[in-house]
């Protein structure tokens, strides 16, 4: 990764897109969110969603996957250029997660990430805390998913 000091705020980047199938929606829901409107087309029709749709945690899990892949791509690029690679630390959590619209069968969600805020860590001078707005948008351009993620990122200048 880029060092904490070098991260530019306000630059949105696409990290991946995924089309949700009925089969995978039901498989994820069967394991982790077995509510009728995520499991069965007929029950979903009678629900407030009106049709089979993905668990919100399923939408979230794909975002995480694309965030990791984006990170790995970035590290590979730095390696290829022979540049130093800053460590990513653990995420202490996140805030403001919103499921804004259902993700229906056949919807293609484009995920994006945008660094929005940086804070130096007082307790851990070798790390900075980066906040990013991570989003999912469907093929109609509607925002379906959003959260503010956070991660510790190594500083170039230690303390």
List of residues contacting its own copies (CB under 8 A): 31-35, 48-49, 55-57, 60-62, 64-65, 68-69, 72, 89-100, 102
Q: Choose between 34 and 159: whose C-beta lies nearer to its own copies.
A: 34
* Helix H or strand E encompassing 80: helix 56-80
Q: Choose between 2 and 55: whose C-beta lies nearer to its own copies.
A: 55
Residue 120 C-beta: closest distance to its own copies, Å? 19
- Residue 66 has φ and ψ, to the nearest 5°, of -70, -30
Q: Choose between 97 and 157: whose C-beta lies nearer to its own copies.
A: 97
Distances (CA, A) of 115 to 12, 36, 51, 52: 7, 36, 34, 33
Q: Is the dihedral of CA 139, 141, 147, 148 positive or negative?
A: positive
Token pair in block for residue 159: 């303390």
Q: Could you tell me the end-to-end alpha-carbon distance of the chain, in angstroms, rounded to an integer?
A: 19
Q: Choose between 60 and 86: whose C-beta lies nearer to its own copies.
A: 60
Residue 58 C-beta: closest distance to its own copies, Å? 9
Residue 100 C-beta: closest distance to its own copies, Å? 8
């Amino acid at each position: 990764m880029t060092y904490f000091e070098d991260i530019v705020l306000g630059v949105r980047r696409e990290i991946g897109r995924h089309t949700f199938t009925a089969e995978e929606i039901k498989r994820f829901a069967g394991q982790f969110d077995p509510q009728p409107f995520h499991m069965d087309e007929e029950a979903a029709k009678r629900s407030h969603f009106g049709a089979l749709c993905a668990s919100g945690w399923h939408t979230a899990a794909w975002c995480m996957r694309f965030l990791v892949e984006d990170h790995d791509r970035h590290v590979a690029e730095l390696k290829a250029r022979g540049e130093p690679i800053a460590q990513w630390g653990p995420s202490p959590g996140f805030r403001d997660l919103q499921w804004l619209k259902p993700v229906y069968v056949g919807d293609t969600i484009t995920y994006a990430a945008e660094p929005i805020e940086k804070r130096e860590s007082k307790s851990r001078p070798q790390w900075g805390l980066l906040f990013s707005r991570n989003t999912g948008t469907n093929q109609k351009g509607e925002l379906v998913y959003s959260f503010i993620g956070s991660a510790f990122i190594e500083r170039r200048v230690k303390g």
